[in-house]
Amino acid sequence: MDVTGTPYAFTSGDPVNELDPLGLGCGIFAVVCDVGHAVVHAADAARHATANFVDTHKTDLVIGAGIALGAVSFGAGALAAGALLGADVGVSAGALGAAAFVTGLGAAGLDAPTCFSKSASETSKVAACIGTGSGVFGAVLGGVSLLAPEAELSGYFAAYGAAFAGGGNVVDVLNAFGVFGRYSHTLQTLMSDNGECGNNLI
């Protein structure tokens, strides 16, 4: 310290957030401190890299999650419908209900941010709110089937729950692709053009 004037150099000058919260130094455990310091920096770098990746590929991740969840929910719905028609699908109504529950919550979670966004177009927000509601409704129906798999209507709850959950995921994917935003822009342009035409006729 007398030479460098930096008593906490081994913690990058930050003894509280790094590896020496009491400011006591490492002493004979310097090697352990060095290893710990390297681990902390590696974990921090990994966290930043993950955050940057998610931020850069947010749309791709949302689309991928929506497609995966939609595939599961529609698959569960098809199996539930098959079971209702008398086919031996080899899966219980409770398991199909669980699939509808999970994918419905996933759909609601993916659609909700756009539904409550202040920057999204009105058409995108309306579509996302419908998708959120559809996902929640699918999750509720799936949850009923999950909790009462032996009930007479359990298969119907699973089938309809999966269908609503799948619908919510379809809305999420379309919104992520910007379909509803483009539709909103086109609609606004058409309305503006019609207004100008009407004004020209007057």
Which tops the pLDDT comparison, 202 or 32?
Answer: 32
Look at the pTM and tell me if it is higher than 0.75.
no
Distance CA 34, CA 11 (A): 9
* C-alpha pair distances (Å), 100 with each of 40, 77, 78: 40, 8, 11
Is the Cβ–Cβ distance between 19 and 36 less than 8 Å? yes
Sign of the dihedral through C-alpha 129, 135, 141, 146: negative
- Tell me what pLDDT residue 178 has: 82
- Tell me what pLDDT residue 201 has: 40
- Tell me what pLDDT residue 29 has: 61
The amino acid occupying position 73 is S
Q: Which among 120, 165, 167, 128 has a CA at the least distance from the CA of 143?
A: 165
Distance CA 133, CA 35 (A): 50
Distance CA 42, CA 134 (A): 42
Q: How many CB atoms lie within 10 A of CB 130?
A: 15
Residue 199 banded pLDDT, cuts 50, 70, 90: very low
- Tell me what pLDDT residue 8 has: 58
Residue 4 banded pLDDT, cuts 50, 70, 90: low
Domain boundaries, the chain: 9-53, 58-201
Distance CA 101, CA 72 (A): 11
123-152 pLDDT tens trace: 888 899 999 999 999 999 999 999 998 888
* Tokens found for residue 81: 């419908």
72-125 pLDDT tens trace: 999 999 999 888 888 888 888 899 999 999 999 999 999 999 999 888 888 888
Span 10-19, average pLDDT = 54
- Tell me what pLDDT residue 191 has: 58
- 58-80: string of b/e by CB count within 10 Å (b at 16+)? eeeebbebbeebbebbbebbbbb
151-181 pLDDT tens trace: 888 999 999 999 999 999 999 888 888 877 7
Sign of the dihedral through C-alpha 89, 93, 98, 103: positive
Distance CA 4, CA 27 (A): 17
Most confident of 6-15, 26-35, 61-70, 97-106: 97-106
- Tell me what pLDDT residue 197 has: 45
